[in-house]
Chains A and B, each alone.
Chain A
Amino acid sequence: MKRRMPAGPEQELFFASRMRKAQQGDGAAYRELLEEVQSALEGYFVRALLRTGLGDRIASEDLVQETLLAIHAKRHTYDGEQPFGPWLFAIARYKLIDASRALRGNRFIPFDEELESVLAAPETGEPGAAADVAKLLGELPEKQRRALELVKLDGRSIRQAAKTTGMSESAIKVSIHRALKALKRGRQE
């Protein structure tokens, strides 16, 4: 596997020189640039999505692809006299904001219906299922277990759960999503 060039002045010079050549129609230089840029973008989006708590709703892969296409379509807007990094990450940030805006009004986290029924199992009085769920819940990280218990078992709202745990609402949603995923894996094993 090819090693990624570390961020810094060397990378900046590499990016800027390749982009200047690409603007003149040099496909080989452009290919090299895109190869490095995609690695830089992957790291940027993974970190940004984690920080914003949007990781479960926006795929970093899609953002990388969107940004690569945007770089291609708007490559004439890069001024060869200016640093490449601010240009690149301004586009990346724009694509991230655009994607998060598209989510506005669609705050629903798609929970797996099967898992919802598993979580409801203790109330049906089936001792086996209840024991299974209790065991699986016990294996979850503390934050995920607490978020899941408060919202899905105790029936509290995301806001109430956030207040109780001191976590942000986004973090609660992400924790529940991850906990459900982990439970699903646990059930399948």
Chain B
Amino acid sequence: MSVESRQELLDRLARDLPPAPPAPSAEVRAVAWGSVSALILGAALMIAPHGPLVSPWLSFAALAGLSLVSAWAALESARPGSEPSGLHQFWRWLLAADFVGVLLWQALASDDPGRFAPLGEWAGLHCTVTAIGLGLLPGLALAWLIRREAPTEPGKTGRLLGLAMAAAGAAALAFCCRDGRAMHVLLWHGLPLVLVAVLGWAAGRRILRW
């Protein structure tokens, strides 16, 4: 590009410049996303068969929190020059450890000889698929928010998006699934987190490019 045409480009960009106020902070948007997702999932649960929570409430709370913190980190990472702080990472690990720890503890403390049986029950895969399905709409909403930003590491942002989406779906699943056995929840409700985070990383490198 010649110097002259560069000057023309700069003139063109500066001409008729519509105001573009900075978007609200990542925290504010994450909370807004969390509220909208809760409404979406609440509506979905009205349609789907549901019941009271049978899995440990701590594991449910850990998933809901993990979803919100991951969405916050994804939105933070979608701003150029802005890295999710160590605080995000700390909370993600703490909540993931809470989810795993509570369920493992419950399984190990149980006297039930069949407490590890859910690990071999492939029917549990139904829960994994349901969690991913439930998380789909919140995931699309978050992807829409992220695409309005400018993620400079689309793979990393995609991974966080996937984690937020799957954790939201898995949290909602707790009200649909009637199997409260610790190992069932740990494996089949936890599996979508890993799967969708990996898928999110791979897909993010394509769909979050701008």
Contacts and interface: CB of A to CB of B under 8 A. Distances in A.
Interface string B58-90: 000000000000000000001111100000000
A26 B10 contact: no
A90 interface: yes
Contact of B21 (A68, A72, A76): A76
Given A77-B79, A79-B79, A90-B80, A27 B17 contact: yes
A104 to B, nearest CB: 12
A182 B210 CA distance: 38
Contacts of A82: 81-82
Interface SS of A by simple majority: helix
A86 B22 contact: no
A31 B13 CA distance: 8
A34 interface: yes
A23 interface: yes
Given A31-B14, A68-B13, A75 B20 contact: yes
Contact of B10 (A25, A34, A75): A34
Contact of B80 (A22, A72, A74): A74
A98 interface: yes
B191 to A, nearest CB: 31
A70 interface: yes
Contact of B149 (A77, A86, A88): A77
B152 A31 contact: no
Interface in A18-48: 22-28, 30-31, 34-35, 38
Interface in A49-86: 61-62, 64-65, 68-70, 72-80, 82-83, 85-86
A91 interface: yes
B81 A38 contact: no
Contacts of A79: 22, 25, 79, 82
B22 A80 contact: yes
A52 B22 CA distance: 34
A64 B22 CA distance: 23
Given A23-B20, A75-B20, A76-B23, A30 B13 contact: yes
A38 B3 CA distance: 11
A26 B6 contact: no
A76 B10 contact: no
A25 B18 contact: yes
Interface of B: 1, 6, 9-11, 13-23, 25, 78-82, 149-150, 152, 209-210
Interface of A: 22-28, 30-31, 34-35, 38, 61-62, 64-65, 68-70, 72-80, 82-83, 85-91, 93-94, 98
